[in-house]
Amino acid sequence: MSVLQQENHLKVLRLVDGNPHLNQRGLAEALGVSLGKTNYCLKALVDKGMIKVQNFRGSQNKMAYIYLLTPLGIAEKADLTAHFLKRKLAEYESLEVEIRTMQRELEGANDPKGLNR
């Protein structure tokens, strides 16, 4: 699975976990993607056994569904979160180094004689 797919799956798993009554249109809006892409991602997670879909029994709208994480989905969410956090921390550390380097370069450009080094 690509990094982008992992991030999309993590976003969906997090949204479903926090908002099981959110419909596909609401998920699409929260994710900032098309309804078709959301449907595709949800179907993939259902097929992998990470999300289960149930109808609202008492709902007037028989097309209303609730999305629930399965135990496998909970474990996958934790695993994807750990990988995501590790990757973002590495990016953060790299950016910190780049920022410090650029700050030193800027200070050097503002002090052409090197008096403040």
48-73 confidence digits (pLDDT tens): 999 999 876 655 655 678 899 999 99
Residue 116 lies in a domain: no
Please, are residues 29 and 38 in contact by the beta-carbon 8 Å criterion?
no
Residue 70 lies in a domain: yes
Distance of CA 71 to the CA centre of its chain: 19
pTM: 0.75
pLDDT at 65: 82
pLDDT at 117: 54
Residue 91 lies in a domain: yes
Residue 96 lies in a domain: yes
CA 104/CA 87 separation, integer angstroms: 26
| CATH value at residue 98 | 1.10.10.10
Residue 65: which domain range?
3-110
Tally the domains of the chain. Answer: 1
